[in-house]
Amino acid sequence: MPEKKNDLSQKNQWEHSVAETLKRFPEREETFTTSSDIEVKRLYESENYPDDVSYPGQYPYTRGIQPTMYRSRFWTMRQYAGFGSAKETNKRFRYLLNQGQTGLSVAFDLPTQIGYDSDDSMSEGEVGKVGVAIDTLTDMETLLDQIPLDKVSTSMTINAPASVLLCMYIAVGEKQGVPLEELTGTIQNDILKEYIARGTYIFPPKPSMRLITNIFEFCQENVPKFNTISISGYHIREAGANAVQEAAFTIANGMAYVDAAIEAGLKVDSFAPRLAFFFNAHNNFFEEIAKFRAARRIWAKIMKEHYHATDPKSWKLRFHTQTGGSTLTAQQPDNNIVRVTLQALAAVMGGTQSLHTNSRDEALSLPTEDSARIALRTQQIIAHESGVADTIDPLGGSYYVEALTDEMEQKIKEYLDHIKDIGGAVQAVEEGYMQREIHQNAYEIQKRIEKEEEIIVGLNKFQLNEEVNPDLLKVDEKLEKSQVECLQDIRDFRDQDVVDKILAELKENAKDSEINLIPTILNAVKAYASVGEICNVLREEFGEYTGI
């Protein structure tokens, strides 16, 4: 057990940090009270708390990465959205912003995610189906029409072609007159979890890691407020991992990215403050809270003690949370509203920096406008009506939560030690270790459900004889033809000689591992080269990953 803390200097330091924070972010209210007029303190503490619990905003950040947490400002309410055309998705974005959403999150269609244009034979039948179709800068301009990029931060769930979509975003910002240093947002850019769990990879690991470190370097110098990677446990969990595996494999992947950046010559404190994480929230309320607290603590210690980062910003695990899509059922879909509420509440109690709440119909289709609004309202009700954001880390000091946090930390460390023995995350991926662990856990979960050892309400117990499904969103089948025609118009409009010259330059630069490819990709994007054209040039040089 950690030693008890007797030194008041930590508290004095925290109080000083609170005062400094409040100069920038005044509290939402001068005083916080319950409905019975009982004053709610900023922080509840005990002399018996162990050192590892710490104060919020202090290493190792068990109680949160900010000194005042939600007392000063809420988490970013960032609803994931994207379907059909850029025009349709822009309409949904603007609707959600008008309804109180505070950040954008872009879902791309499958062809875009794996670097194919809408007119490629590989794209047939998939254009605009699971996200928005983006072929050229024109589509990105339409997607972000009337959305001020100096005021709205944008998260993009894009991995293998992340460099291309980031360059499109930068180009739109330039067209809006927003200085690069003022652009804010996140690209997922996490290729290792694609090999492990999701499958939207293009290139083999080595050139993929090169592109990622190229992005780190370029953004450090040019787009300093942009989060250059969102190291994702979400999809690992969706593939069947448990909470410990999700956290462990995500942190191991994070270490691999840090190692790659250092090997590329970057100083840890130059890029680590812009690393971000992306976690899942499932139904076991207290386990999820403990997972978030343990992950924060482990990452802080790794960055400080293993990588010797000296900037406290490098120690902080900043994370976005999405509620668990795989927990939602097609049966009795309104039950999903309850599941999502529990999961969102766990994320907030665990100290998330931003949050997406899934919609009730996501086990059946893309969310309708009504379903997306209910999902957003769930966050707003938690923020404004529940009182859970009125004090920092409300469950801190709970016997159960603190013990569970300690046990989660230990089990996560055991996985990390084993992955280290294998040779690190990249080697573990190439050997299929993480994939096997996830598949085995998913198999065990399914067996428990089938035996009714684990109850899923409406699925294996409390069923209805007749299911009534809500109205579902359907993507217009004519979209694909329209998108292909638009792409052809762009090819007719642009200066093809310029495009050919830049793509030839990109091909040459790709042969030299010392050259940062982002400036050339940015030039290609500005010349209206397409996602598929850029990715095909890199395919020719890097090859394609075909799995283990």
Q: How far apart are CA 338 and CA 250, in angstroms?
A: 27
Whether the per-residue pLDDT at 477 is higher than 90: the answer is no
Mean pLDDT for 7-36 is 88
Q: What does the pLDDT read at residue 2?
A: 44
Q: 291 lies in which domain range? A: 51-450
Mean pLDDT for 349-366 is 95
Mean pLDDT for 498-504 is 98
The bridge status of strand 154-157 relative to strand 354-356 is unpaired
Whether the per-residue pLDDT at 455 is higher than 70: the answer is yes
Q: How far apart are CA 300 and CA 306, in angstroms?
A: 10
Q: Where does the pLDDT of residue 49 fall: very low under 50, low under 70, confident under 90, or very high at 90 and above?
A: low
User: Average model confidence (pLDDT) for the chain?
Assistant: 95
Tell me which of 23-27, 122-126, 374-378, 530-534 is least confident: 23-27
State how many domains the chain has: 1
Q: Where does the pLDDT of residue 415 fall: very low under 50, low under 70, confident under 90, or very high at 90 and above?
A: very high
CB 15 within 8 A of CB 55: no
Residue 508, token pair as written in the block: 């040459």
Residue 541 is assigned to a structural domain of this protein: no
pLDDT digits (tens, 9 = 90+) for 138-192: 999 999 999 999 999 999 999 999 999 999 999 999 999 999 999 999 999 999 9
Q: Directed axis angle between helix 531-542 and helix 205-222, to 10°? A: 130
Residue 530 is assigned to a structural domain of this protein: no
Residue 94 is assigned to a structural domain of this protein: yes
DSSP 3: P
Q: How far apart are CA 503 and CA 287, in angstroms?
A: 49
Whether the per-residue pLDDT at 471 is higher than 90: the answer is no
Q: Where does the pLDDT of residue 6 fall: very low under 50, low under 70, confident under 90, or very high at 90 and above?
A: very low
Whether the per-residue pLDDT at 53 is higher than 80: the answer is no
Burial class (CB in 10 A: 0-12, 13-18, 19+), 397: middle
Residue 465 is assigned to a structural domain of this protein: no
User: Residue holding tokens 């059946």?
Assistant: 364
Q: What does the pLDDT read at residue 8?
A: 62
Burial class (CB in 10 A: 0-12, 13-18, 19+), 441: middle
Tell me which of 76-85, 219-228, 497-506 is least confident: 76-85
Query: 3-state class of 187 per DSSP?
Result: strand
Question: Which is more confident, 133 or 471?
Answer: 133
Residue 18 is assigned to a structural domain of this protein: no
Helix (H) or strand (E) holding 155: strand 154-157
Q: What does the pLDDT read at residue 475?
A: 84
Whether the per-residue pLDDT at 467 is higher than 80: the answer is no
Q: How far apart are CA 401 and CA 408, in angstroms?
A: 10
Tell me which of 404-408, 467-471, 489-493 is least confident: 467-471
Helix (H) or strand (E) holding 157: strand 154-157
Q: How far apart are CA 354 and CA 319, in angstroms?
A: 7
Q: Give the CATH number of the domain where residue 158 resides.
A: 3.20.20.240
pLDDT digits (tens, 9 = 90+) for 293-307: 999 999 999 999 999
Q: How far apart are CA 344 and CA 404, in angstroms?
A: 19
Query: 3-state class of 249 per DSSP?
Result: helix
Q: Where does the pLDDT of residue 52 fall: very low under 50, low under 70, confident under 90, or very high at 90 and above?
A: low
